[in-house]
Chains A and B, each alone.
Chain A
Amino acid sequence: MSDAVLRVKDLQTQFQSRAGALKAVNGVSFEVGRGRILGLVGESGSGKSVTGYSILGLIEPPGRIAGGEVLLNGKDLTRLKGEAIRQVRGAQIAMVFQDPMMTLNPVLKIGTQMIAAVRAHDRVSRKAARARARDALAKVGIPSPEERLDAYPHQLSGGMRQRVAIAIALLHSPAVIIADEPTTALDVSIQGQILAEVRRLADETGTAFVWITHDLAVVSSLADDICVMYAGKVVESGPAAEVIASPRHPYTAGLLASVPAEHEPGTKLPQVPGSTPALANLPPGCAFAPRCAKAGPACTTTPPVQTFEDGRTALCHYPIEPVSCQPHSLTSNTYRSAS
């Protein structure tokens, strides 16, 4: 993809500890194109959130970016310091957190905070800034945005607050928004509303999203592309529909298989044995090998990145053969709606 707005190359983020350097992100690479949504999927401890924080330069000691590049429209963000990175954050790249109260100040009105955010990067009048804030709220589907500007965060519901956080991220029409589990704390009906808005925003404004989540179903219905992370590495990547329909890495396959909605009720669920390894104590070679049903003698050595058709990759010695069937084969016996 040559039109990538964000290109992450061999990113390494480490945390210094008594046990040595913990490689939370260990050579992660991906790119996102204009108006595309990349789902960054993994379980807790896989390094997906640290990847997001590293892209914006939000890693603090004892953590540090030990190597790699984060290219935003060709400019390497890892080399920027102080004022230079602050000029970029919020203007060209923004972040939405899981808890909107991490973004919002509880003692300031929504409008005050949004006007400050506009004027942090653009020299415009308060009146013009307020108009832009109102437009941003309208864009994320908040009813009566003018009145909401005068509300305090506690007067809004969780779903509304998350919309405000997304609106703030959108204020400067950034090229990329990093969203870290933004709908995890919300109810399903509210999550559905936000996902619909985000899909529309990506299509209409051309903003690219990196959507960090543990929820495969969300990624499956929202994202264009998927990166699956395990123990600090991207173990599989490719177009969302294809990865979901026919995973090539045994870990992705195991994750997909263990989702209850895809199985006959009451039957035994295929499970991935064991649990995620501690970073301080990774097995040699492939980190997934001790839990992997397909593991063989080669797995004690570092697995190669295998590249397949359509730009798909898998970090595995023994990738799964592709399934030759319709991409939507998994849906057959899931619940049907009565519309």
Chain B
Amino acid sequence: MPAALLDVEHVSKRFVKHPNLGERIAGLLGAGPKAETVRAVTNVSLTVAKGEVVGLVGESGCGKSTLGRMIAGIYTPSDGKILFDRAPVAKSQGRRTQKLTTRVQMIHQDPFASLNPRIRIGDTVAEGPVAHGIVKPREADAYVADLLGRVGLDPGYRRRFPHQFSGGQRQRIAIARALAMKPDLLVLDEPVASLDVSIQAQVLNLFMDLRRDLDLTGIFISHDLGVVRHVSDRVAIMYLGRIVEMAPTSELYASPNHPYTRALFESVPRIGVGRKDFRPIAGEIPSPLHPPSGCHFHPRCPFAGPRCKREAPALTAIAPGRSSACHLNTGGTE
């Protein structure tokens, strides 16, 4: 295996909701609410090799976006560390952080929110590389024109404002802005979720072309199993802040191991299988404020036993390159 570009080691992220002044006063009198903690990500480890694309899949509240933001350096992990090219992402300061943040770039879900509506798109794309000295201000215009061409936009559009573009075009602009920093790692957070199907295919094709041409490494976050299967080499399935299964894409889709992964595949509607074929997962997704004890999936799991309630299963290897967090693989659920 080639050297790991990204090393996520036992990372957790907690968000604490502190009581406000009124609640603190009530607390002094013994009546107010206590500080509440959301465990968004719990003890996640992950390595990404250079040139690899890893998909992060899960439903809302599973922590996939939080993990992506920690990798991009937007959030600081509460525990654990994230190493990028063997240097910690969060602990670095000053010029070092600056250097690092240019090497990891993020693309967000909503291209309507991620572009400043009052700045011409050419200036949006040029701002980062000029500020970090990647190009000289004099050469910025040609640099931007080249990038826009690369993402399939007419370079003549660079004097336009975001409102003059459709959703798919805006997402191309967001990709151009990320590429302008010559990143080594791209974190894509649901990049095609807000696009129509026909436009989605255009953006996915663009991503795969760029990946091949520029040898990009990527974290591809999505709830869409079909999209992730198409672009990822490996997939990690997350549920309520933990990775429950990780495997090379083809093996995961051919034979999912974890009961949650299996149930997820079952409940996704698919084209061409005909109607009335539903076997939905029972129950709701629990709140990350009050996750269930033991294995987080046990209240919805058809195979759950007493051990699942007591003890959280660890992510253990079940085959070369594959791991799953289920007691069924490690001595049963009794």
Contacts and interface: CB of A to CB of B under 8 A. Distances in A.
Interface of A: 43-44, 157, 159-160, 187-193, 195-196, 199, 214-218, 220-224, 240-241, 244-245, 254-256, 258-263, 265-266, 268-273, 275-276, 327-331, 334-339
Nearest to B202: A271
Given A221-B278, A271-B205, A335-B254, 10 more contacts: A188-B264, A192-B268, A192-B281, A218-B269, A260-B200, A260-B204, A262-B272, A331-B271, A335-B225, A337-B262
B256 A338 contact: yes
A220 B270 contact: yes
Nearest to A255: B197
B272 to A, nearest CB: 4
Contacts of A331: 270-273
B271 to A, nearest CB: 5
6 contacts: A43-B197, A220-B269, A266-B230, A269-B205, A272-B201, A335-B265
B269 A329 contact: no
A191 B267 contact: yes
A247 to B, nearest CB: 11
A196 B275 contact: no
B129 interface: no
A318 B18 CA distance: 64
Interface in B270-317: 270-282, 284-285
A193 B231 contact: no
Interface residues of B, number: 54
Interface string B236-255: 00000000000001100111
Given A192-B280, A268-B208, A327 B201 contact: no
B198 A255 contact: yes
Contact of B278 (A192, A214, A273): A192
A199 B275 contact: yes
B201 A328 contact: no
B230 A271 contact: no
A188 B197 contact: no
Interface of B: 59-60, 166, 168-169, 196-202, 204-205, 208, 223-227, 229-232, 249-250, 253-257, 262-282, 284-285
A265 B252 CA distance: 13
Contacts of B272: 220, 244-245, 262, 327-331, 334
A334 B200 contact: no
Nearest to B206: A271
Contacts of A263: 230
A260 B200 CA distance: 9
A330 B265 CA distance: 17
B95 to A, nearest CB: 38
A240 B277 CA distance: 14
Contact of B223 (A188, A193, A260, A270): A188
Given A188-B268, A337-B265, A338-B262, A193 B281 contact: yes
A268 B203 CA distance: 11
A273 B168 CA distance: 11
B275 A44 contact: no
Given A192-B278, A259-B226, A337 B271 contact: no
Given A187-B60, A189-B59, A268-B205, A260 B271 contact: no
B248 to A, nearest CB: 11
B223 A187 contact: yes
Given A187-B60, A223-B275, A261-B226, A335 B253 contact: yes
A202 to B, nearest CB: 10
A331 B269 CA distance: 12
Given A260-B204, A328-B274, A335-B229, A265 B250 contact: yes
A43 to B, nearest CB: 4
Contact of A258 (B200, B208, B275, B285): B200
Nearest to A338: B255
A189, A215, A272: which has the most chain B beta carbons within 10 Å?
Answer: A189
A144 to B, nearest CB: 13
A50 to B, nearest CB: 17
Contact of A261 (B60, B229, B250, B281): B229
Contacts of B223: 187-188
Contacts of A224: 275
A192, A196, A223, A270: which has the most chain B beta carbons within 10 Å?
Answer: A192
B256 A337 contact: yes
Contacts of A266: 208, 230-231
